[in-house]
Amino acid sequence: MLKLPLKYYDESGRILPPRWLYALLLLLCADWALFVFSLASRSHTDTLLHFFYPHSKSLLFALVTSVPALLSLLLLSQRERLWKKGLISWRRWFIPLLLCGVVALLISQIAYAITHHWAFELITAIRLVLSIIALYTIAKSRHLRWMVDDWEHPNIQADSKKNVK
């Protein structure tokens, strides 16, 4: 009996990450994406960074607080490579690292609101609400827990299929 519908499994029978997780990681790593895109246009780097981060400390703070989310994204994207090397213990740290990333984003948004004397800004409000929703979703997601549990033995399904063929 499968825990999830068939579309949530890859060809080896392992549970795939939910699609909303990629959107969440993109939200959490938005500061890094903006930083990389601003570096890509060399002539407008300073203008773009100053527009989104008027103080250089706010950019550094945003980049540092999104490091756990960036590490989660890297682990998720490199899982096949890590499995081939026999490294699977990282899977236990995936959800806590993801939760730390969301909490760090939440703290950074609250700190930003405090420094601006709680003046309403739509982007800050959206990020605060999305952070709270993400924190709840990650903490309660059975899909993520089953996915991490399924990754405990990533090569068993693939090895059994090779033996059948």
Query: Which positions ≥6 away from 103 have C-beta within 8 Å?
Result: 135
Tokens of 144: 């993520």
pTM given for the model: 0.79
What pLDDT sits at residue 5?
84
What's the number of domains the chain is made of?
A: 1
Per-residue pLDDT of the chain (165 residues; tens, 9 = 90+): 788 888 888 888 888 899 999 999 998 898 898 888 888 877 878 887 877 777 777 788 888 999 999 999 998 888 888 878 877 778 888 899 999 999 999 998 898 889 888 888 888 888 899 999 999 999 999 999 998 888 777 665 444 444 444
User: Cα(68)–Cα(101) distance, rounded to whole angstroms?
Assistant: 5
User: Cα(121)–Cα(123) distance, rounded to whole angstroms?
Assistant: 6
Residue 30 lies in a domain: yes
What pLDDT sits at residue 92?
84
Residue 8 lies in a domain: no
Query: Which positions ≥6 away from 105 have C-beta within 8 Å?
Result: 28, 65, 66, 69, 127, 131
Tokens of 121: 């800004």
Parent domain of 130: 16-160
Residue 100 lies in a domain: yes
In degrees and rounded to multiples of 5, residue 55 shows phi and psi of -110, 135
What pLDDT sits at residue 135?
94
CA neighbor of 95 nearest in space, from 154, 26, 142: 142
Residue 2 lies in a domain: no
Residue 11 lies in a domain: no
Residue 7 lies in a domain: no
User: Cα(85)–Cα(71) distance, rounded to whole angstroms?
Assistant: 18
Residue 93 lies in a domain: yes
What pLDDT sits at residue 163?
47
Residue 6 lies in a domain: no
What pLDDT sits at residue 141?
93
Please list the residues that pair with 9 across neighbouring strands.
15
Q: Is-contact 118 96, C-beta < 8 A? A: no
What pLDDT sits at residue 128?
92
